[in-house]
Structure 1
């Protein structure tokens, strides 16, 4: 059905005769069903949950009956009688389910004309592509008496934003043994929310490290219950960072989480020789992004720690990201080394580094992944863009990991996806002996929980 370019012209009561009919057709999609659920609040799992629907009466997702009935309303309001029609009543009988992919035709036929108040009674049917009746009934309307002819208003473009990867990640990460996690200086709403939410989901067992009086006061201010959590006294943010790292160093905590202190303050303690959490690997940050318009998770690195990484740094950054991808169940991640162009240019260091990293992969210095670069961002995530530039690559258009040239480009890319493409971004620091969870004031609850879930999965993957 496409009425956006039509001229809508009604039939006034005097122009309508018995037997007149009109119809329209529409193919019902899963997005239609989800959008109707959103508008109506009908979250019946028969319409949305594939697993539930498989065990239900029809063994598959079905459309809401009223969604199908809405096609009748569309015929009455746009075709017969058309604009100016007043819907007075409707009797409906539902005969068969409507599934995603079914093409439904709604047809109305005039069966009675009542001159008083210009009423029209119409027989209504909806049938599928096989000619099977899915709905029938009778509609009563008041027909217009003034002629109307005008262009149909163009409908807005609607895009449903789904974050299925992070939802699935939370399901996979939940276990009977929450991950003991030291939270350094949890003295603001963001970090305390992350703690309470993750604990409620069974992801972590929090150890709050900081000034006890301040932590409890902030929790009371934000009406958050932290009574079940252990609190380790530390007088300042720097003392909290030191104590949190010590808890991880001693094996009491299996993960760290940044609270209301600067990232550098926490990482300064992490990299201390003897008392820190160094492993020989370089620390790097990864945003695990759930972008609704991209068909799989997108890992962006490094957007938070390494300011201007050289080739050796990028080698470590790539290895860290590949290890994380494996923890998330991506067996052979496709790694795109980003630059502004997709050809090697001696004047652009990012292209030289990309070429060198790919050769390192060829020589076995980077394993269990497929690398390609340099690739511009559009070529890395769009097969169409890659084809237009005649790029033949096993990574182009289907990247799992994006390795950015520097912290500025990475930070801007991640935030553009978050704020302009409605992506969720979970942040994690890699390369230490325990995962380090970073949360942001801009994170929603799903992103905060996902950051914790990633730490849980990493800890499980690495024993």
Structure 2
């Protein structure tokens, strides 16, 4: 199966009927609680609020919410992320979300091996996107975690992205390894990595997916341009994942689409036992609801992301 738009993601998450629980670290913030209210009302997820209990209850009441309708865990200052991780580890929550705190403080207990959330791979950033001119949702990676991935790290980034799609029902995702050209050039290590990734996929080393590369963006996205250039690419215009050469390329691409094309995006961190959401300060309410829906669906399917 494939998702053509975010309506399908939202509807699939709603069918879970709040059976997927998100532990929110340091939840005493009106903006954070605002999109959690919306997600809860839609049945996308059941929020578990971690932080200063008094502040959380006051913020809920200020927002005309009944604190008794929420599961709240009182945490000492500075221990919110650890308590949220403990809830996941103890089976009381299904995925994690950052509230009003620094991202580095939020991620610190997640990456600790003793907390049991690591699965032996790097953690990477996935942006599932919908934008004009493309007929279905597509993942862009990695625009937020791994700065300059080498070949081995790119393998793990691909596996992480493919695992997300498997978890939400895809059978054999199609991955494009993007470069500035579609031929291997020894002077451009990104093209060498891309060719190696394709060979690793053909050998079964990247899981159940199809990887093509190196590919220029135009050939990747337009079968008409691929035909003009006489480049044979079976999946041109139909990829599910775009792997960018580094964090800057992906980050700029995603933000340019969001700002100039009003693209929609759901963003999660993958590569550990549960999905992780770490909203940026510029994230909109819609983006966070979509991110909650994606994480809830992936966690609810029982996939390891």
Using the size of structure 2 for normalisation, the TM-score is 0.91
Measure, in 2, the Cα distance between the counterparts of 1:437 and 1:194.
13
* Residue number in structure 2 paired with 1:195: 36
- Offset, 1:452: 1.5
Pick the structure with more helix per residue. 2
Of 59, 76, 86, which aligns to 1:235? 76
* Residue number in structure 1 paired with 2:13: 173
Measure, in 2, the Cα distance between the counterparts of 1:451 and 1:225.
25
Measure, in 1, the Cα distance between the counterparts of 2:137 and 2:280.
19
* Residue number in structure 2 paired with 1:277: 117
* Residue number in structure 2 paired with 1:426: 266
* Residue number in structure 1 paired with 2:90: 250
1:366–1:224 distance in 2 versus 1, CA, 3 Å = same
Q: In the alignment, does 2:133 pair up with 1:293?
A: yes
Measure, in 1, the Cα distance between the counterparts of 2:18 and 2:24.
18
* Residue number in structure 2 paired with 1:436: 276
Deviation per residue, 1:229-270 (Å, 9 max, x gap): 12212233x411111111111111111111122332222211
Measure, in 2, the Cα distance between the counterparts of 1:164 and 1:344.
32
- Aligned to 1:418, the other structure's residue is in SS state helix
Residues 338, 375 of structure 1: 8 Å contact kept: yes
Pick the structure with more strand per residue. 1
Of 185, 192, 197, which aligns to 1:352? 192
Residues 370, 395 of structure 1: 8 Å contact kept: no
Of 143, 149, 173, which aligns to 1:309? 149
**1:3-402 matched pairs, under 5 angstroms:** 165-174=5-14, 175-221=16-62, 226-236=67-77, 238-402=78-242
**Unaligned 5+ runs, structure 2:** none
- Offset, 1:295: 0.2
1:164–1:330 distance in 2 versus 1, CA, 3 Å = closer
1:187–1:353 distance in 2 versus 1, CA, 3 Å = farther
Measure, in 2, the Cα distance between the counterparts of 1:462 and 1:322.
14
The alignment's C-alpha RMSD in Å is 2.1
- Offset, 1:426: 0.3
- Aligned to 1:394, the other structure's residue is in SS state coil
Measure, in 1, the Cα distance between the counterparts of 2:251 and 2:118.
25
- Offset, 1:191: 1.9
Q: How many residues align structurally?
A: 300
1:303–1:367 distance in 2 versus 1, CA, 3 Å = same
**Unaligned 5+ runs, structure 1:** 1-162
1:164–1:310 distance in 2 versus 1, CA, 3 Å = closer
Deviation per residue, 1:394-417 (Å, 9 max, x gap): 232221100111111111111111
1:262–1:452 distance in 2 versus 1, CA, 3 Å = same
Which has the higher Rg, Structure 1 or Structure 2? 1
Measure, in 2, the Cα distance between the counterparts of 1:186 and 1:387.
52
- Offset, 1:227: 4.2
Measure, in 2, the Cα distance between the counterparts of 1:404 and 1:350.
9
